[in-house]
Structure 1
């Protein structure tokens, strides 16, 4: 029992609410050991897995994607540092894309929003004649993946 933590201990140590831990368990991301009275207890090693889940969410992975990543971990023993490292290497491209998007948003704070009109469909400087509508709906400058859309399309 000394290696087992109650749900409240795990919540406190991980910074994740007990309700989220129950949800993660429901989704198959973590597992608990039930006592005869039905209380959840977790192996201490679960803290690594929860940290992994939290980190993965922060970089934008969905719980489905996190579950798929966790399935890649070895079964039968607690994952080691090299296991986590191998998994996270595939995330570099995703982080680079997120950084690029954040830089575009930062630029927009002074370029687009800073003009005061707040309307890409009417703005003559950034989006004359609403050319960005040709690329789809929504805020195209921020959603863009097409390299052909420039700051002053």
Structure 2
């Protein structure tokens, strides 16, 4: 398949495909004129890349998992760690959703007078500060 067909079938723009190739995530099988040509299994590889991104893996982490020619090598430990991070994020988002619903129905004259809304604001600020600190520590990623 040429790059235009891969883009059409995958929904991933050709520019992104070229970027993935530059980053070592995918590899063209050759060229037909100026167009890159890919093997049919490229769609499976692109699906794995998309799934990895949705799960929160960086492109570098995904490239490491896909660097083997025969099949992806994904460490179970990394998957468990990512699942734990997702659990934490789900918990945070659930609390945020519940807080917003409460505030939406709060009878206080103003959101700023609602104790739950003020607590939500303090929590948001604390989490933002924590993420900023965590993202600066090498080897740690903020969710």
What is the TM-score of this pair, normalised by structure 2?
Answer: 0.65
The structure with the largest helix share of the pair is 2
Match of 1:148 in 2: none
Listed one character per residue, the Cα deviations across residues 55-91 of structure 1 (whole Å, up to 9, x for unaligned) are 11112222223223324xxx342x27xx569588433
Query: SS of the residue aligned with 1:31?
Result: coil
Cα distance in 1, alignment partners of residues 129 and 56 from structure 2: 17
- Structure 1 residues 53, 36: closer, same or farther in 2, change over 3 A? closer
Cα distance in 1, alignment partners of residues 57 and 79 from structure 2: 14
Contact 1:7 1:41 in 2 (8 A): yes
| RMSD of equivalent CA atoms | 3.4
Contact 2:49 2:62 in 1 (8 A): yes
- Structure 1 residues 108, 143: closer, same or farther in 2, change over 3 A? farther
Give 4+ residue runs of structure 1 displaced > 4 Å after superposition: 83-88, 112-118, 141-145
Contact 1:69 1:87 in 2 (8 A): no
Cα distance in 2, alignment partners of residues 140 and 27 from structure 1: 35
Query: SS of the residue aligned with 1:35?
Result: strand
Higher mean alpha-carbon deviation, 89-98 vs 53-62, is at 89-98
Q: Does 1:125 align with 2:110?
A: no
Match of 2:60 in 1: 64
Listed one character per residue, the Cα deviations across residues 118-145 of structure 1 (whole Å, up to 9, x for unaligned) are 6xxx6561447xx94xx8xxx2366587
The number of residue pairs the alignment matches comes to 126
Q: Which runs of 5+ in 1 are unaligned?
A: 146-153
Deviation at 1:114?
5.5
Deviation at 1:34?
2.8
Deviation at 1:37?
2.3
Contact 1:25 1:31 in 2 (8 A): yes
Match of 1:9 in 2: 5
